[in-house]
Amino acid sequence: MLVGCSRQQSPYIHDVLLPMTPVKNQGQTNACWAYAMLATIETEHILRGDSINLSGVYVARIENRRAMCQTLLNIIQHEGIVPYDVLPDDTPANLKAPKWVFMLGARYTPKEFAHSVCAPDEYLALTSLPDSPYYNKVEVPVPDNWEHNRFLNLPIDTLRQHVDQALHHRHPVCWESREHAMEIVGLAHDAKQQTYYIMKNSWGLDQPHEGLVYMPVDQMWSDMIAVYMTQEAFAICSVSK
């Protein structure tokens, strides 16, 4: 289930690379926000010794508009989620979503299953808006935030510390820009000592680096609208201070 860590003939040297489920393909949907947040939840479970692989198709059928990753967290709390093998990326459009999830000899509704996957308020939504008060919840003023979700607003340097410390302590981070969302699964550098965030994309394996994206650090932060991590991951930076 886990993607191997080796990347032959890669110019990048991995400093941190977290385990992950196989790269998915969102196809023609607008659901990168769902795939990115589900990937983050999956990696978090792997690092806890659990193994889950979740269906982006299930979420995209509920909401296929552009959205923010918080929308995924809201959907799984209210509508549930199902495993990937029940509704994989190539699921025919006429195949209905199941009413039940069967796992380890037990039967769950998709909502019951979702609550075992992600607890309410398990993840923090974070942003950095210099024109809004720091250390307060603020609404991110972008069209994708049509739900009017609110985010904890932090100074950019503080937010960067939280993200980097989370990765170094083996917690994934979900990243969102105005155009796309991906899971951050690691850190890397090249021969010139330029540094990169390693992203797990959702455009399938027919991409460079087997579906991973090596994004320069400066680009990641200049494009960042919001990031998401667990409460546990967020607390690491506070403790380390």
Please give the share of the chain, as a percent, with pLDDT higher than 70. 95
- Decide if pLDDT at 4 tops 50: no
pLDDT average, residue stretch 54-83: 96
CA distance 150 to 126: 9
Tell me the pLDDT tens digit for each residue of 78-134. Answer: 999 999 999 999 999 899 999 999 988 889 999 999 999 999 999 999 999 999 999
pLDDT attached to residue 239: 57
Model pTM above 0.75: yes
Please state, as a whole number, how many other Cβ atoms lie within 10 Å of the Cβ of residue 45: 17
- How far from each other are the two terminal CA atoms of the chain, in whole angstroms? 36
Q: What is the pLDDT of residue 1?
A: 43
pLDDT, residue 240, reads: 55
Residue 202 has pLDDT above 50, yes or no: yes
DSSP per residue, the chain: -PPP---TT-S-EEEEE---PPP-B-TTSSTHHHHHHHHHHHHHHHHTT----B-HHHHHHH--S---HHHHHHHHHHT---BTTTS-TT--TTSPPPS-EEETTEEE-HHHHHHHHS-TT-EEEEE--TTS-TTSEEE--STT-TT--EEEE--HHHHHHHHHHHHHTT--EEEE-SS-EEEEEEEEE-TT--EEEEEE-SB-SSSGGGGEEEEEHHHHHHH-SEEEEEHHHHHHHHHH-
Q: What is the pLDDT of residues 12-61, one digit of tens each?
A: 999 999 999 999 999 999 999 999 999 999 999 999 999 899 999 999 99
**Mean per-residue pLDDT over the chain, rounded:** 93
Helix axes 156-168, 231-240, angle to 10 degrees: 100
pLDDT at 2: 45
